[in-house]
A = this chain, B = another copy of it.
């Protein structure tokens, strides 16, 4: 296996990447659908979030070391996007949250390189500065070789209540260009007042959901913190490369506990938990409002973010996304998100972006599953 990444310190290391692409978002309806979740949308630029994630991880892990974990319904789309790439696709028989997803990928990589670092990251995030991302994640992965679980925390820029936080402890290790700190604790999404205090007092970072660890470390911690889940993963691992693998995966994986890696391991582990501060301009792109805010550079003079040709008269601060050839005209409206697709139209207050996820369910209950 070829050494791929050359850190500043000139130490060539082998790395793996696990891209978690199992989500089926509803927050971007009607652009996102059950069959086309957020990660397969081009909402932050010309490429899809998934393609951006692949490109971002490429300088760190070679494609043959990249595992993409997807649900069955998105397998075909994912394989199409990966055409020509040696990246590997792991299909979840059923969605079982991030602990199972990471366990499954770690089991596969454990068979090859139990002591090389894996970078685990969601497929649907936004990063402004890819070069800084590479440096931060490369260093995190290197630190993970010590047996630590390393996460990347993002410096808060606002009292965000939609993210979890990491409370930062003492600095760890010898002072180098990249500093690591011990994790004091993981904190669930706070209320606004708490978020404000985190922002003003400092010492808290946003939990990005990006981790680095070796297969040996994470599997040992799964065994200790979530023994039942680990037993299932272990059973699957033993079947890898054998004829009965698919049947074992199908049977065992569907029975695994559905729990996040944060709840299952990060909040309980006795392994060394480190955090590096991320300074690469990050967002989990949680709503149309966050898309609007991420793309301020593309706003017109009235603060509109238009995808497609829109006629706007006295219209300001709207996000409008047109698909196809329909003429769209706005008159005297502001602060709206308007998503126009061939079979569904959304008109919403952009401040209500978080509530868009309710709509597919309501449509289903009215017999409009086709538009979900």
A368 to B345 alpha-carbon distance, docked (Å): 21
Which of chain B's residues has its CB closest to A320's CB?
B347
CB distance from A67 to the nearest CB of B (A): 36
A332 within 8 A of B: yes
Which chain B residues border A345 with CB–CB below 8 Å? 326-329, 340, 345
A340 to B341 alpha-carbon distance, docked (Å): 12
Which of chain B's residues has its CB closest to A356's CB?
B331
Q: How does the 8 Å CB contact mask read for A13-48 relative to B, with 1 for contact and 0 for none? A: 000000000000000011000000000000000000
* Number of copies of chain A assembled together: 2
A152 within 8 A of B: no
Contact B362 A346 (CB under 8 A): no
A296 within 8 A of B: no
A343 within 8 A of B: yes
Contact A329 B346 (CB under 8 A): yes
A338 within 8 A of B: yes
Contact B325 A359 (CB under 8 A): no
A348 within 8 A of B: yes
Stretch at the interface among A94-102, A246-254, A307-315: A307-315
A12 within 8 A of B: no
- Interchain residue pairs with CB less than 8 A apart (22): A30-B329, A311-B362, A311-B366, A313-B358, A325-B343, A326-B343, A326-B344, A326-B345, A327-B344, A327-B345, A329-B344, A329-B347, A329-B359, A330-B348, A331-B346, A331-B348, A331-B349, A331-B355, A331-B359, A333-B347, A333-B348, A336-B347
Q: A309-B366, A333-B348 are in contact. List 11 more A-B contacts (CB 8 A).
A: A29-B329, A311-B363, A313-B358, A325-B343, A326-B342, A328-B344, A328-B347, A329-B348, A330-B347, A332-B352, A345-B345
